[in-house]
């Protein structure tokens, strides 16, 4: 078992352990009195895990309600968000109740945003069941939904009451879902840890070292969130590969998964960094080799014009400037402000 404490505006623990779903009720009862617990889950996660979670919560004295949403990125929409808010109203959920986000990053973002805005904020607990959610999106309090113009355009910061990661849930992931989490882990390996995590991923398999690797990523994110909770400076390092990755997702109408898009985004920014003299060719080749090792894509058929148009609506643009996260060497990245008029050049350099 790994237990990490996050000292953000709300302090909470991240617990990583096998079989944890069966203890969620007792763990929650240590944090708040028995109340109504609302489980928010996608269809797949609900079928796989809801029965165990409901039993655990009811044993601890909680009354359980369930909201099941469609699978996939389309659930992060104004429509589904509205349905969830109306569900909470119709079930007479009050400010002392609690929401459980059971699933991957989509569920965590949707349930977290509803928890942040319903009755001006109620408690929620993250129960990540995907590798991507375990290493990244479940920690740090970012919640959001997508708008027509782009990804995560409506959202806010709302730290969870706790994060309980049951490692057993990772065994049910298909190769595509597991691969998405690998992309986020590689992101951490490129920008932090002075290269130690990168070397670990080169020589050891993520599936065989899941607890250690998830804990290491959570530690890295925890340290950044504690210094820059509201994403004003240092936390932007976590966007490595995301600026171009989000553009790829949007251009594909989200047919390209988040993990695959981020992997391609990391390759594009690494290649561009080489051509601009900011990253060595050797480090770029190592980054691409590691991405390929975990069967992640490194190329896109989208043009620079298509990606540029999509990137221009990115929420990270302010004052006509995009804050690009650029690898300078393995284990170290820098945030470089790039004007919108320079963005296409960066994209062309990455695609070329």
pLDDT in tens, 331-349: 999 999 999 889 999 999 9
- Integer angstrom CA distances of residue 112 from 17, 76, 157, 167, 290: 22, 11, 9, 21, 32
Is the per-residue pLDDT at 315 higher than 80?
A: no
CA distances from 241 to 36, 155, 264, 333 (A): 39, 20, 7, 11
Q: At what angle do helices 340-351 and 304-311 cross, to 10 degrees?
A: 140
**Residue 141: Cβ within 10 Å count:** 22
40 near 69, Cβ under 8 Å?
yes
Half-sphere exposure of 34 (CA within 13 A, CB side): 11
257's tokens:
């998964």
Average predicted confidence (pLDDT) for the chain: 96
What is the DSSP-derived secondary structure letter of residue 312?
T
Q: Which residues contact 246 (CB under 8 A, 6 or more apart)?
A: 150, 151, 152, 261, 265, 310, 311, 314
For residues 109-124, give the mean pLDDT.
Answer: 98
Nearest to 271 by CA among 306, 307, 299, 309: 299
In sequence order, the 6+-apart residues with CB closer than 8 A to the CB of 148 are none
pLDDT bucket at 313, cuts 50 / 70 / 90: confident
The rounded distance, in Å, linking the Cα atoms of 3 and 16 is 6
Rounded mean pLDDT, 108-123: 98
- 10 Å Cβ neighbour count for 319? 7
CA-CA distance, 239 to 327, in Å (whole number)?
12
Query: How much is the pLDDT for 271?
Result: 98
pLDDT in tens, 157-176: 999 999 999 999 999 999 99
Strand ranges (E), the chain: 2-7, 11-17, 36-42, 63-69, 98-103, 123-128, 142-147, 150-157, 162-166, 321-329, 332-339
Could you tell me the sign of the dihedral formed by the alpha carbons of 113, 114, 116, 120, in that order? Answer: positive
- State what percent of residues in the chain have pLDDT above 90: 93
Per-residue pLDDT, 194: 77
Residues 100-122: what's their mean pLDDT? Answer: 98
Mean pLDDT confidence for 51-66: 98
In whole angstroms, give the CA distance from residue 240 to residue 287: 13
Give the closest residue to 114 by CA, choosing from 45, 27, 39. Answer: 39
On whether the CB atoms of residues 138 and 160 are closer than 8 A, the answer is yes
pTM over 0.75: yes
For 311, the token pair is 């990137």
Q: Which residue has the tokens 């290649």?
A: 271
């Amino acid at each position: 078992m790994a237990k990490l404490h996050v000292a953000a505006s709300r302090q909470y623990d991240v617990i990583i352990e096998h079989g944890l779903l069966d203890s969620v009720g007792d763990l929650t009862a240590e944090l708040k009195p028995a109340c109504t617990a609302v489980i928010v889950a996608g269809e797949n996660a609900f079928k796989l895990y809801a029965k165990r979670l409901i039993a655990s919560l009811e044993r601890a004295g909680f009354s359980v309600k369930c909201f099941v949403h469609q699978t996939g990125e389309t659930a992060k929409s104004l429509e589904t968000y509205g349905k969830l808010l109306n569900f909470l109203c119709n079930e007479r959920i009050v400010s002392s109740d609690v929401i459980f986000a059971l699933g991957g990053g989509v569920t965590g973002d949707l349930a977290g945003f509803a928890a942040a805005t319903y009755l001006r904020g109620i408690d929620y607990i993250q129960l990540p069941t995907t590798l991507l959610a375990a290493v990244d999106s479940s920690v740090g309090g970012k919640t959001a939904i997508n708008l027509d113009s782009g990804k995560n355009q409506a959202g806010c910061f709302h730290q969870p009451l706790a994060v309980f990661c049951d490692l057993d849930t990772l065994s049910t992931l298909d190769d595509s879902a597991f691969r998405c989490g690998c992309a986020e882990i590689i992101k951490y390996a490129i920008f932090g840890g002075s290269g130690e995590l990168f070397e670990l991923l080169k020589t050891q398999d993520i599936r065989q070292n899941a607890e250690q690797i998830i804990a290491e990523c959570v530690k890295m994110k925890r340290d950044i969130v504690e210094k820059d909770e509201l994403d004003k400076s240092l936390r932007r390092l976590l966007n490595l590969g995301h600026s171009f990755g989000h553009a790829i997702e949007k251009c594909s109408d989200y047919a390209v998964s988040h993990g695959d898009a981020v992997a391609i985004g990391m390759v594009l920014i690494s290649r561009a960094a080489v051509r601009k003299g900011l990253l060595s060719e050797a480090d770029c080749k190592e980054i691409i080799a590691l991405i390929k090792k975990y069967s992640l894509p490194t190329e896109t058929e989208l043009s620079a014009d298509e990606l540029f148009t999509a990137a221009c609506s990115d929420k990270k643009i302010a004052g006509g400037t995009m804050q690009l996260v650029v690898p300078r060497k393995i284990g170290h990245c820098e945030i470089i402000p790039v004007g919108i008029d320079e963005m296409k050049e960066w994209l062309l350099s990455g695609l070329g």
